[in-house]
């Protein structure tokens, strides 16, 4: 995510706006594409620095995905370098992500084959979370305004997945969504809104099907 220097620049820019020293337009012009991406503003993903970050992550994913199962543990050490901190998640190949450094794994996380995480914004994954095969988690979205979309702009919005969540195969988690702890997302569901804790959701778009009660 943001480095200390980048966070400080964003905080200073916000203070300048509050005190009326600069306009919002002036502040936005001073931010890098990465800073705009991480603060949910419109940005150009074609920015060279972001392209380099994505290329690094995709190369790491490629190497991991091409490794034989017997060498997977060694290869995971290399894949782990793209993440912002060490993690102990079990990730089955193939695995795909955009940047890696915006993903936060909790303890004992399991990702089955074919998981894709488009982490232009932060993705927080809690403890004891399970992903079925071919789950897609996407923080990225494009403007509804066709003129802005034509320019190649996009924005990204964080996703949070609570502890003990099970996401069924083929489910899609859309930008800005939070999934409460202990919840279950049914196979093939498209989650467009936040999910309360202790619930089962399913369908397109996903709706609450029932509440989970402890025995």
Q: 40-92, pLDDT tens digit by residue? A: 999 999 999 999 999 999 999 999 999 998 888 888 888 898 987 667 899 99
Query: Is residue 52 included in any domain, yes or no?
Result: yes
pTM for this predicted structure? 0.85
How distant is the alpha carbon of residue 14 from its chain centre? 25
Alpha helices in 131-185 (DSSP H): 146-150
Query: Is residue 143 included in any domain, yes or no?
Result: yes
pLDDT in tens, 112-166: 999 999 999 999 999 999 999 999 999 999 999 999 999 999 999 999 999 999 9
At 166, list the tokens: 């099970």
H-run or E-run covering 83: none
CA distance 94 to 3: 29
H-run or E-run covering 116: strand 115-118
Domain that holds residue 192: 44-211
Active-site annotation holds for 128: no
Residue tagged active-site, from 113, 128, 142, 157? 142
Q: What are the start-end ranges of the E strands in 132-180?
A: 136-138, 140-141, 155-156, 159-161, 166-167, 172-173, 178-179
Q: What is the CATH number of the domain that holds 193?
A: 2.160.10.10
Query: Is residue 181 included in any domain, yes or no?
Result: yes
Query: Is residue 161 included in any domain, yes or no?
Result: yes
Query: Is residue 3 included in any domain, yes or no?
Result: no
Quote the DSSP letter at residue 73: H
> What's the domain count of the chain?
1
Query: Is residue 37 included in any domain, yes or no?
Result: no
């Amino acid at each position: 995510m943001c480095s200390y220097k980048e966070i400080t620049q964003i905080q200073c820019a916000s203070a300048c706006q509050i005190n009326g020293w600069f306009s919002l337009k002036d502040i936005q012009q001073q931010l890098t594409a990465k800073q705009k991406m991480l603060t949910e503003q419109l940005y150009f993903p074609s920015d060279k620095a972001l392209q380099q970050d994505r290329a690094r992550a995709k190369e790491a994913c490629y190497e991991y995905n091409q490794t034989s199962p017997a060498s997977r543990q060694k290869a995971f050490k290399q894949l782990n370098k793209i993440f912002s901190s060490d993690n102990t998640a079990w990730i089955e190949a193939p695995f795909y992500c955009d940047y890696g450094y915006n993903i936060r794994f909790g303890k004992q996380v399991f990702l089955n084959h074919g998981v894709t995480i488009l982490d232009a914004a932060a993705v927080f994954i809690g403890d004891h979370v399970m992903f079925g095969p071919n789950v897609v988690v996407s923080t990225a979205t494009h403007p509804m305004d066709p003129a802005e979309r034509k320019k190649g702009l996009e924005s990204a919005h964080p996703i949070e997945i609570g502890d003990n969540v099970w996401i069924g195969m083929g489910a899609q988690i859309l930008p800005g969504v939070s999934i409460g702890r202990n919840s279950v997302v049914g196979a093939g569901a498209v989650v467009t809104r936040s999910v309360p804790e202790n619930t089962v959701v399913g369908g397109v778009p996903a709706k609450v099907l029932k509440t989970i009660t402890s025995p």
